[in-house]
A and B are shown apart, each in its own frame.
Chain A
Amino acid sequence: GNSVTQMEGPVTLSEEAFLTINCTYTATGYPSLFWYVQYPGEGLQLLLKATKADDKGSNKGFEATYRKETTSFHLEKGSVQVSDSAVYFCALRPGQGGADGLTFGKGTHLIIQP
């Protein structure tokens, strides 16, 4: 079946540090890949997405590249801010028929210290 594995948290960084949150997936066919973010007290929001191999999704300074050869979709940001503190979820949607529901990883809690 489909699955998503992301690095365990919490991840604690200082402001302006470089961020990487690893995400790898298992899926048949060609899934679409997503990063969702949940800020404290708020609902899940789509951060970025990529629908095919080598696509790069980007938003709010965050980037992730769909790597089919390594089945990965790592999230990066060059200089994090305190306001980036949140829980980040990597997710996939299957590429071929069947369920259109998303498969999520367990989430990575990111804490940015001033």
Chain B
Amino acid sequence: GAGVSQTPSNKVTEKGKYVELRCDPISGHTALYWYRQSLGQGPEFLIYFQGTGAADDSGLPNDRFFAVRPEGSVSTLKIQRTERGDSAVYLCASSLLVGQSNEQFFGPGTRLTVL
């Protein structure tokens, strides 16, 4: 596809359930990022991958959050034992290279609602 795609676009789940959010980056982009945007706030960095490895996961809020990118392309953000405070829009971005002036291209996001 032409841009970053994310599925599902909306996810409603119950407290305590497990969810997976998928990101399909722009073809050929080596870097992939996950952000979380709460209502009325700017995006908050969670984790980024360079290839298959997580280069920096310092933004993950706790050990309920985990992300993988096994083949260096598609990534999945996994949230265990969801809590109401996890409700937010989860954004994915990709870029061609990691560096100073490199542009990150954002997907449309997955809106997660935890009831």
Which A residues have a C-beta under 8 Å from some C-beta of B?
4, 32, 36, 42-46, 49, 51, 89, 91, 93, 95, 98-107
Contact = CB atoms under 8 A, between A and B. Distances in A.
B100 A93 contact: yes
Interface residues of B, number: 29
B106 A44 contact: yes
Interface in B38-82: 40-48, 55-56, 58-59
Contact of A102 (B43, B55, B107, B108): B43
Contacts of A43: 91, 106-109
Contact of B56 (A91, A101, A104, A105): A101
Contact of A51 (B47, B59, B101): B101
Given A32-B100, A51-B100, A99 B45 contact: yes
Nearest to B57: A99
B58 A91 contact: no
5 contacts: A32-B101, A89-B43, A101-B33, A102-B33, A107-B42
A99 B59 contact: yes
Contacts of B20: none
Given A99-B48, A103-B45, A106-B42, A46 B103 contact: yes
A105 B42 contact: yes
